[in-house]
Structure 1
Amino acid sequence: MTTTNIHNLTRSTDDVVIVGGGLAGLFCALKLAPRPVTLISAAPLGQGASSAWAQGGIAAAVAEGDGPEAHAADTIAVGGGIVDKAVALGIAREASQRINDLLAYGVPFDRDLEGRLAVGREAAHSARRIVHVRGDGAGAAIIAALSDAVRRTPSIRLIEGFVAEALATEDGAVTGLQLREAGNFLARPTMIASRAVVLATGGIGHLYAVTTNPAEASGSGLAIAARAGAVIADPEFVQFHPTAIMAGRDPAPLATEALRGEGATLINGNGQRFMAAQHPLAELAPRDIVARGVFAEIAAGRGAFLDARDALGARFAGKFPTVHASCIATGLDPATQPIPIAPAAHYHMGGIAVDDRGRSSIDGLWAGGEVSSTGAHGANRLASNSLLEAVVYAARIADDIAGGAIPSPTRLPDVVVTPRGGAPDAAAIKRLRTMMSAHVGVIRDSKGLEEAMRSFAALEREATSVVVRNMATTALLVAASAWTRCESRGAHFRADHPTDVPELAQRTMTTLAAAREVADSLIEHPMPRIAQSMIA
């Protein structure tokens, strides 16, 4: 790996340009070696990626008696009827190979006494198939190992401290990327000409007031693709992790689902378990059901807590050191005290629509990881499938790029958005995040979604900061699709449409133009109308 000063970068490059230093970006860069790659990371390598914070692990049918077909069946069962079954099975079948890749890159997955990969069970899995690292440290260990591998790879050129804020396109194809120094909002942008761009920029969690995601997960990748005309899939489906630790921190620390897999229970302030009345699997029910159960207890004033005293007790620190440290930092001992929790924005099932090779609707633009939508998760992601999807599609993208000729850039593209960025308005960002949590969160309804759309549409038009405009763009896409889907399905719950509608058991395919059409209709018509282009 070589670290490049942006000012010394050749602005036209035959390199594949990868945006994002999380799991998908790092893995794709390594799989492309020895082909030249320019890897752009807003934060120092290994930081600022949601995948580095993942505690659960990677789902893979590697244990005796388990198989890809069973893994795919579990994925489909929790996906709200819109999982692409072929995609789910394909990912499950590639899991073992990708785990072996990660082992080769130095990831120290836990092993049992006989030296086999140790596997745990998480919510809605029918078998123990989650591979971990030191219980709850999988994400950090994987990112550390891949970062080291990237640093040892001479074909990868790293640019740190720059954010992508726009895509340049011509005749429906990518021609380049606009970057700006992270945090230096008055700096002039830098343009890179490239005919091959991979977006691996992560999710949208930081659009919400309560989230487990880092600040970098603000939906920028989704926004720049949408602004360039890319088709966006399933943006309304946002998964809320039911057990974020309420300690007054932003982002909120996560209490991994694996705790419930080990027997921890959910109780209210009266000490009563409440999930058994909600679902036969109780604490191990699908995440959307558990999140709504927790939300209801909090809304009723009883509070919600994760109780691991009987299941783990004194073993807590050794079994789940990351969660233990987060609790101790807040003055709480989880071995002897219940942990106060609340649902938090955690994972986006929607994203840039991609095919089975990771290709978007724009020529020369691929997307992998949480910024993409493959159809694997449907309306509700199965626990620990996200890291698996990221490595599977990162490898497929690398294979797809390696197998085809990419034309060299002909010229440096023009600046796409304002050459002078404004500093983000902190008050506007706070309003947006509060609005997303209040009206586009765990429970939604028409009135709240309409208020949110009006706010986001106005902010997108009027924002002087590219950062704020991109946040508003993604927020508008989520809200407009949530308003359009007049039913409850998976992680999308409408209080005014609380049941699923069989005729709507299909994925959403939309564009930014369609979302704007819905928002504009709020002004033009007393009752908003569904944009025809938002109907799948």
Structure 2
Amino acid sequence: MTTLGDGVGDLEAKTGFASRTAVPRPGGSAGGWEATADLVVVGTGVAGLTAALRARELGLSVLVVTKADVTDSNTRWAQGGVAVVDVATGDSIADHVADTVAAGGGLCEEDVVRAIVAGGPAAVARLRARGTTFDRDADGGLARTREGGHSAFRVIHAGGDATGAEVERALAADVNRQRVPVLERHIALDTLRTPSGGVSGLVLLDPDGARCVVRARAVLLATGGFGQLYQATSNPEIATGDGLALALRAGAVVADLEFVQFHPTVLYTPGARGRCPLVTEAVRGEGAVLVDAAGQRVMAGVHPLADLAPRDVVSAAITRRMAAASCDHVYLDATGIDGFARRFPTVHAACARVDVDPTREPIPVTPAAHFACGGVATSPEGRTGVPGLYAAGEVARTGLHGANRLASNSLLEGLVVGERAAEAVAMDLAAGELAPLTCATPGDAAVAPVADRSLVQRLMSRHAAIGRDASGLAAAVSRIAAARRERALDSHRVVEDAALTLLADALLVAAAERTESRGCHVRTDFAERDDVRWQRSVRVRLDATGAPAVLAPALTGAA
């Protein structure tokens, strides 16, 4: 793999880029470099690497940028698997679509769902051709499990419960084989703008604070989600929503931000903060059940699918049970699963680290921030409303997930939309729809409002998690506003904190606007779903002052 780390070295020799020149640093000192490419991909998860590989196959010059190492992404932490139909098992595209729409709380765009689900089998076949090894059943076929909200055993997996790690390994290895250049430890700071408002490249920040410029005909954001907006999350430390903030500042519209999915079961440890080990939904798919401290079933009578109900339903039920019992966790009883350590080695190892034996005792679990169902509003091919700017994966809102994502549809979306976004870039280039490299200039992201990260996380966890109301949302808005200070964007940490501050503002605006409960968005002061007024998406864009504001009319979900 052509990786470019802390010292860029001979960038042109490594990448084949057309140019490299000095770029002024803030304050007038020289530093950094400038280069060109057809496409810059930001992010190295399933969507980003899939897009980069497809773009290279289509003959585009590609640079992949990541603020960490190439294998550091949300993808590597995905446990459950990839939801994909095999008609030979009696499953069908129509059933997968129906399950996705049912989980999505009335806001999925059914034509988008159908297009992405139908693209799954071919995308998985190409992923396997790139070297991904999935688990096999006794007959030699792909082993399949069932997860919450699914009506069939359609989730394929790798390494028992290490699917994301295997997908990331295989894609990174293929990037290496195909000699796709990867620039590591550089964070995207701002976009280059054309006079007409399009995007034609990026300003990057290296680990030492030097600004570097990549002029590109197109930029594809594949930066994942923003789980670090909350105190407890299944997401790694890098999940700070940088790409979403970058898109907002570039003039893009975001939608469905209020729908943050809380995974029902992360491993509970007292006082845990940051990334908490996930207890994959597949454990419940294999027969585990949720119980409280008294051994009473949590999901009995709550939903027809009981412990395999959609995630929003299960997380809300756990939250209610914890509130009623004045406790901060429940239990997942998996003692009836044979061969637990073999089937779920990642979960078993995490439990062992806190002296829990899943074969003999229930696992203590609690909900935690897991997935952003909303994001940059895009077409199913990853096009945003800003020329030259594309998005794929968790950072994007395609219309697939609606108000609540169906389990294991995230890797599916990254595979399918990542490929299609690369193809969209190639098509738009061939059609002459993207700006030339010479006409773009950097934006004005030298400074930005920043609030203390721990304060933002505490306020969002208290007022904008599972269970929200008008007074709490308003309190969070007020306290974050009071804590904001203008900061120079001169380090990776400050860029991340600025992104989290902006996303907190945007999410709070959207959550306050939606005066109903639907999917992942639970309002205690508006407890009922209201299809008359709210079967639509809330869209947000920055106003002239740089503040998030709700747009109207809103996008319409499923009829």
TM-score normalised to structure 1 length: 0.92
CA distance in 1, matches of 2:515, 2:337: 42
Q: 1:180 aligns with which of 205, 230, 255?
A: 205
Which structure has the highest strand share of the two? 2
Quick one: structure 1 residues 355 and 225, their matched pair in 2 at CA, closer, same or farther if it must change by over 3 Å?
Answer: same
Amino acid paired to 1:500: R
Matches within 5 A, 1:416-455: 416-418=444-446, 428-455=452-479
How far 1:166 moved relative to its partner? 1.6
8 Å CA contact retained: 2:193, 2:440: no
1:140-151 matches, within 5 Å, as: 140-151=165-176
Sequence identity, in percent? 40
Once the 2 structures are TM-superposed, how far is the Cα of residue 535 of structure 1 from its aligned partner?
A: 4.6
2:145 aligned with 1:120 = yes
SS at match of 2:298: coil
Match in the other structure for 2:437: 409
Query: Equivalent residue for 2:345?
Result: 321
Shift of 1:297: 2.2
Please report how far the alpha carbon of residue 158 of structure 1 lies from its aligned counterpart in structure 2 after TM superposition. Answer: 1.1
Deviations 1:287-311 (A, max 9, x none): 1111011112222324543333432
Amino acid in structure 1 at the alignment position of 2:215? A
The secondary structure found in structure 2 opposite 1:291 is helix
Aligned with residue 505 of structure 1, among 517, 535, 541:
535
- Tell whether 2:235 aligns with 1:213: yes
Larger mean CA deviation between 119-128 and 459-468 belongs to: 459-468
Give the structure 2 partner of residue 525 of structure 1: none
SS at match of 2:438: coil
The alignment partner of 1:343 has SS state of: strand
Listed one character per residue, the Cα deviations across residues 330-358 of structure 1 (whole Å, up to 9, x for unaligned) are 12111112111111000001100001211
Mapped to 2, the partners of 1:514 and 1:149 lie a distance apart of 43
Displacement of 1:415:
5.7
Q: In 1, Cα distance between the equivalents of 2:356 and 2:78?
A: 22
* Aligned residue type for 2:46: L
Which residue of structure 2 lines up, in the alignment, with residue 476 of structure 1? 505
SS of equivalent residue, structure 1 residue 139: helix
Question: 1:83-134 CA deviation, whole Å, 9 max, x = no partner?
Answer: 0000001111111001101110111111222222111101111111000012
Provide the alpha-carbon RMSD of the alignment: 2.1
* Alignment partners' CA distance in 1, 2:336 and 2:116: 33
Give the AA of the match of 1:508.
V
**Could you tell me which residue of structure 2 aligns to residue 15 of structure 1?**
38
Letter in 1 for 2:304: P
Q: 1:222 to 1:458 in 2, by over 3 A?
A: farther
Shift of 1:325: 0.4
Distance in 2 between residues matched to 1:515 and 1:490, nearest whole Å: 32
Give 1:191 shift.
2.0
- Structure-1 separation of matches of 2:109 and 2:334: 40
Paired residue for 1:111?
Answer: 136
1:136-178 alpha-carbon deviations (Å, 9 max, x no partner)? 1100000001100101112x11100111122222222102212
Alignment of 1:102 onto 2:127: yes
Question: Which consecutive residues of structure 2, in runs of 5 or more, have no partner in the other structure?
Answer: 12-19, 21-33, 489-493
- Alignment gaps of 5+ in structure 1: 520-530
The answer to whether structure 1 residue 45 and structure 2 residue 70 are counterparts is yes
1:86 maps to 2:111 = yes
Match of 1:467 in 2: 496
C-alpha distance in 2 between matches for 1:146 and 1:262: 28
Conservation of the 8 A alpha-carbon contact between 1:242 and 1:343:
yes
For the structure 1 residues 475 and 515, does the alpha-carbon distance in structure 2 shift closer, same or farther, using more than 3 Å as the test?
A: farther
For residues 19 and 324 of structure 1, do their structure 2 counterparts lie closer, same or farther at Cα, with a shift above 3 Å needed? same
C-alpha displacement of 1:12 = 3.6
Alignment check: 8 A CA contact 1:275 1:293 kept:
yes
Query: Kindly tell me: are residues 204 and 83 of structure 1, through their superposed partners in 2, closer, same or farther at Cα, counting changes over 3 Å?
Result: same
Shift in Å at residue 41 of structure 1?
1.1
Question: Deviations for 1:54-101, whole angstroms, at most 9, x for unmatched residues?
Answer: 001000011421111110011001111010000001111111001101
Instruction: Give the 3 Å change call, closer, same or farther, for CA 460–102 of structure 1 in structure 2.
Output: farther
CA offsets, 1:241-286, max 9 Å, x none?
0101112353000000000011101111111112113222211111
Q: Secondary structure at the match of 1:242?
A: strand
Provide closer, same or farther for how the CA distance between residues 251 and 125 of structure 1 changes in structure 2, counting only shifts above 3 A.
same
Within 2, Cα distance between the matches of 1:157 and 1:15?
A: 13
